Chains A and B, each alone.
Chain A
Amino acid sequence: MNRIDSLFAQKKEKILTIYFTAGFPRLQDTRRILLALQQAGADMVEIGIPFSDPLADGPVIQQSSKQALDNGMSLRLLFEQLHDIRREVHLPLILFGYLNVVLQFGLERFFEKCTETGIDGLILPDLPLDEFRQDLEPLCKSTGIHFSFLITPETSDARIRQLDEASSGFLYVVSSSSTTGKKKDLSSLQPYFQRIEAMQLKNPFLVGFGIHDHESFLQACRHSRGAVIGSAYIRVLQQAADIEQATKDFVQQILSDNPVHAAS
Chain B
Amino acid sequence: MSIEYRVGGIAPSVLRLARPGQYQVNEKGYYGEFGGAFIPEMLYRNVAELREKYLDIMNSADFQEEFGRLLRDYVGRPSPLYFARRLSEKYQTRIYLKREDLNHTGAHKINNTIGQILLAKRLGKKRIIAETGAGQHGVATATVCALMGMECVVYMGEVDMQRQAPNVARMRMLGAKVVPAMSGSRTLKDATNEAIRDWVNHPEDTHYIIGSVVGPHPYPDMVARFQSVISAEIKQQLQAETGSELPTHVVACVGGGSNAAGSFYHFLDHVSVQLIGVEAAGKGLTSGYTAATIALGRPGVIHGSKTLLMQTEDGQIIEPHSISAGLDYPGVGPIHAYLHATGRAIYLSATDQEALDAAFELTRLEGIIPALESAHALAKLKDLQLKPEHVVVVCLSGRGDKDMETYLRFLPADDNPTTTEPYS
Contacts and interface: CB of A to CB of B under 8 A. Distances in A.
Given A56-B200, A58-B197, A179-B201, A154 B301 contact: no
Interface string A143-155: 0000001111011
A53 B38 contact: no
Contacts of B37: 128
Interface string B306-333: 0001010111110000000000000000
A66 B190 CA distance: 13
A126 B193 contact: no
Interface in A87-107: 98-105
Nearest to B298: A104
Interface stretch (A2-10, A68-76, A231-239): A68-76
Contacts of B317: 52-53, 100
A55 interface: yes
A241 to B, nearest CB: 27
Contacts of A150: 40-42
A178 B184 contact: no
Interface size classification for chain B: 35 or more
A178 B44 contact: no
A17 interface: no
Contacts of A101: 314-316
B53 to A, nearest CB: 16
B314 A74 contact: yes
Q: Please provide the 4 A-B residue pairs with the shortest distance between their CB atoms, ordered closest to farther.
A: A104-B315, A101-B315, A150-B41, A52-B316
Interface of A: 51-53, 55-56, 58, 62, 66, 69, 74-76, 98-105, 125-128, 130-131, 149-152, 154-156, 159, 163, 174, 177-179, 182
16 contacts: A52-B316, A52-B317, A53-B184, A55-B39, A55-B40, A56-B40, A69-B316, A99-B38, A103-B300, A104-B300, A105-B315, A150-B40, A150-B42, A151-B41, A174-B41, A178-B200
Given A74-B314, A126-B304, A149-B41, 16 more contacts: A53-B189, A55-B193, A55-B200, A69-B316, A100-B315, A104-B313, A125-B41, A126-B38, A128-B37, A154-B203, A156-B45, A174-B41, A177-B200, A177-B203, A178-B201, A179-B200
